[in-house]
Amino acid sequence: MAIRLIVKEPDEVLHKTAKTVTKITPNVQKLLDDMADTMYDAEGVGLAAPQVGILKRLIVVDADEEHGLIKLINPEIVSMEGEQFGPEGCLSIPGLNGDVRRAETVTVRGLDREGNEVTITGSGLLGRAFQHEIDHLNGVLFTDIAEKVYEYTAERSETGE
């Protein structure tokens, strides 16, 4: 496993649509493992393959204790319920946060690293993380959909503003 370089905005790879993974190979599994290591090293809660410069439909998320680390291949949102509105940041856009409106609860379907179909429902931060990372697979950044974008400060993050 290895820590990969996180691609930063305005790199054009962040604005492209990732390709469907058609075969799960040892390289795909290693990439998922590397993405998890990279996410933890950067103290993030999610990471999509385009953020490490690879246009494949892969995400890793670790946003709650109940589910722990989730590695998904070809994830798609199959249902959305409710609404949440709050701050988001991104490892590819350091120094900025934005107020983003998202579904409160989402159900995501994809394949695990072994190719088994999995369906996971997440609310709150996990639901937000799923939506944020799947947006990355479609070339959408939180700054594209935020109602307000502002510089990140420690004071804001502590108060939730």
For the stretch 102-141, pLDDT in tens is 999 999 999 999 999 999 999 999 999 999 999 999 999 9
User: Is the link from the previous residue into 10 a cis peptide, with omega within 30 of 0?
Assistant: yes
Q: Which of 104, 117, 133, 161 is catalytic?
A: 133
Closest by Cα among 102, 120, 100, 101 to 110: 120
User: Is-catalytic flag, 155?
Assistant: no
Residue list, annotated binding site for Fe cation: 90, 132, 136
Q: What is the pLDDT of residue 152?
A: 79
Q: What is the pLDDT of residue 1?
A: 65
- Beta pairing class for 96-102 and 105-111: unpaired
- Which residue in this structure is represented by tokens 């950067």? 42
CA–CA gap between residue 156 and residue 161 (Å, rounded):
5
Extract the tokens encoding 97: 């946060």
Q: What is the pLDDT of residue 161?
A: 39
pLDDT digits (tens, 9 = 90+) for 68-103: 999 999 999 999 999 999 999 999 999 999 999 999
Q: What kind of fold does domain 12-159 have according to CATH? A: Peptide Deformylase (3.90.45)
Domains in the chain: boundaries: 12-159
Q: H/E element holding 102?
A: strand 96-102
Closest by Cα among 151, 133, 152 to 51: 133
Residue list, annotated binding site: 90, 132, 136
pLDDT digits (tens, 9 = 90+) for 47-67: 999 999 999 999 999 999 999
